[in-house]
Amino acid sequence: MKGFVTSPKAAKVYDFLRRAGPSPFPALLVALGLKPGQLVKALRHLRGAGYAFPARYRGVEFWCLNGTRPTREQEALAWFAARLEEAGGRFEHGTAYFPKGRAVPVLVDGAQVEAGELFCFLEDLREKPLKECVRQKQKRSGRY
């Protein structure tokens, strides 16, 4: 049986995990703007109430809501969602809502990026603000 969550910070963490899926602790810090001690306490509330749990996947610890598990793509997706939230946007149901109102579907697959499409790398998302991570594939000009 699940308990009650009365902490506003724990509710904020729950909301982000519901929208973004399993997320590493550092990504949660970026997304929510909490201090590490505050986040630890909020996660402890969620775990104690039976809503969240830690899970390791490929050497990375994720915080997950019950019924979810990390996947191969999840770390990149969680970091993208965290950087988007840090920039004032919102991630929900696979769509990025940027601060100025633009909505863009988000895919994580490492496939070929076509000219004009936006992309970013996980390594950048871990270290830099979203504005410095997002790039647009340029059309090739001239000879090959």
Is residue 60's pLDDT more than 90? yes
54 lies in which domain range?
Answer: 8-136
Of 101, 100, 98, which Cα lies nearest the Cα of 134? 98
Of 91, 89, 94, which Cα lies nearest the Cα of 129? 89
pLDDT digit string, tens, across residues 39-50? 999 999 999 999
Q: Would the pTM of this model clear 0.85, i.e. be above it?
A: yes
Domain count, the chain: 1
pLDDT digit string, tens, across residues 77-115? 999 999 999 999 999 988 999 999 999 888 887 666 566
Residue 49 burial by Cβ neighbours in a 10 Å radius (0-12, 13-18, 19+): middle
Please report whether residue 39 resides in a domain: yes
Please report whether residue 91 resides in a domain: yes
Is residue 66's pLDDT more than 70? yes
Q: What is the CATH number of the domain that holds 107?
A: 1.10.10.10
